[in-house]
Amino acid sequence: MQIEFVKCHGSGNDFPLVDARALDLPEDAWVRLARALADRAGPVGGDGLLLLTRGDATHAFGMRMFNPDGSEAETCLNGVRCTARLGFERLGIAEARVLLKTSDAEAALQPELAPGVTTIRTRVGPVSTLASDVGLRIDAREVIDAPIPGFPSERAFTAVAMPNPHLVSFVDRVDEAELVALGDWCEAGPALLPARGNVSFVEVRGSAEAPALFVRTYERGVGLTNSCGSAMAASTYAAARTGRIAFDRETQVFNRGGMVRASATQAAEVTIAGNATFEWDGRISFDPETGALSALEVIGRRPAEVAAWDEMLATISR
């Protein structure tokens, strides 16, 4: 069968995005498609597979996100922006409530972050800091800027469910080797965290008057990644909850992939405004039974969008 898709990214978090509203494939076929399309050694590659799905009475459309290993994530906020843009374009609307795996998100077009950079705001929450919601099997009710009993690190963490699980630690300087070691430990599905989790090290930069966050994340099902939208959101909430930034104040949040503007409320809602960049459109042959891909065809490229994003990146400090 032929699969058409858009190659897109949010803050450098890149995906093939499929309008799946009229596609009825068995679950194992979606898993095979995700593994094939997101394979960096394959013809497309990405940090996962995004699906624009049908909505319901209260949601204009939905989103599903599969990691490169075929596991399905509860959410992906960089992916929500990209999926929302496609939904807006297909339905001729500018805002919507988006149905996710276990929750939902509000999305709306926003003024551009920079000329030519399509920008979408998403709002999610209330997020949870209950250890049980994060998937931690510990006696404590929650973990807020404290060591996690049984975790192979003495660092202080804040555990946040977006609803996907995040462990956020504020550091003076990101040590990638340490981050990868902790991420690998979580990825093994230990008894402490059997459903695995995302681990982020966060530097607070800027000044007291204008703080900024730099986030480096080991993403569940992906590994060390240049960008994870839900990690940026979790880090924003964790920073506000621990007094490192103010609630209800927009903060610039950076990672290796780019930048978003984010804020958190005391009611545990997080708002992120960031890019939804479409790079090129493609079509590929896919065998649902075997997962084999063949005959990639690039239908069209979007050089103006790519150039606008590259120009914006050149103006920001990461």
Tokens representing 96?
């919507």
pLDDT digit string (tens) for 278-312? 999 999 999 999 999 998 999 999 999 999 999 99
Asked if residue 215 and residue 191 are part of one domain, the reply reads: yes
> Known catalytic residue: 82?
no
Mean pLDDT of 60-78: 92
DSSP H stretches of helix in 68-188: 77-91, 131-134, 176-187
Q: What is the pLDDT of residue 218?
A: 97
Q: What is the pLDDT of residue 207?
A: 85
Asked if residue 69 and residue 187 are part of one domain, the reply reads: no
Query: Would you tell me how many other CB atoms lie within 10 Å of the CB of residue 28?
Result: 12
**228 belongs to a structural domain:** yes
Asked if residue 107 and residue 137 are part of one domain, the reply reads: no
Higher pLDDT, 208 or 189: 189
Mean pLDDT of 167-192: 97
**264 belongs to a structural domain:** yes
Tokens representing 222?
């992906």
Give yes or no for a cis peptide into 126 (omega within 30° of 0).
yes
**126 belongs to a structural domain:** no
pLDDT digit string (tens) for 92-148? 999 999 999 988 999 999 999 999 999 999 999 999 999 999 999 999 999 999 999
Alpha-carbon gap, residue 200 to 70, rounded angstroms: 22
Asked if residue 145 and residue 116 are part of one domain, the reply reads: no
Contact 267, 125 (CB under 8 A): yes
Asked if residue 268 and residue 158 are part of one domain, the reply reads: yes
**125 belongs to a structural domain:** no
Orientation of helix 229-241 relative to helix 77-91, angle to 10°: 120
Range of the domain at 55: 2-120+276-315
Among 66-80, 88-102, 193-207, the least confident range: 66-80
| pLDDT, averaged across the chain | 95
Catalytic residue among 8, 82, 186, 228: 228
**55 belongs to a structural domain:** yes
Asked if residue 80 and residue 51 are part of one domain, the reply reads: yes
Contact 217, 199 (CB under 8 A): yes
Strands 270-275 vs 259-264: parallel, antiparallel or unpaired? antiparallel
Asked if residue 95 and residue 166 are part of one domain, the reply reads: no
Asked if residue 153 and residue 247 are part of one domain, the reply reads: yes
**213 belongs to a structural domain:** yes
**107 belongs to a structural domain:** yes
CATH number of the domain within which 92 lies: 3.10.310.10
Catalytic residue among 8, 76, 82, 186: 76
DSSP 24: -
Alpha-carbon gap, residue 34 to 50, rounded angstroms: 9
Mean pLDDT of 243-255: 95
Asked if residue 140 and residue 48 are part of one domain, the reply reads: no
308 residue type, one letter: A
Asked if residue 9 and residue 56 are part of one domain, the reply reads: yes
Burial status of residue 314 (CB atoms within 10 A of its CB: 0-12, 13-18, 19 or more): exposed
Buried b (16+ CB within 10 A) or exposed e, 170-201: bbeeeeeeebeebbebbbeeeebbeebbbbbb
Asked if residue 77 and residue 40 are part of one domain, the reply reads: yes
pLDDT digit string (tens) for 38-47? 999 999 999 9
Number of structural domains the chain divides into: 2
**81 belongs to a structural domain:** yes
The alpha carbons of the chain give a radius of gyration, in whole angstroms, of: 19
> Known catalytic residue: 186?
no
Q: Distance of alpha carbon 259 from its chain centroid, rounded?
A: 13
Contact 240, 204 (CB under 8 A): no
How far, CA to CA in Å, does 208 sit from each of 43, 195, 249? 46, 37, 13
Q: How many residues does the chain have?
A: 318
Asked if residue 143 and residue 111 are part of one domain, the reply reads: no
Q: If we measure between CA atoms, which residue out of 66, 74, 78, 12 comes closest to residue 37? A: 66
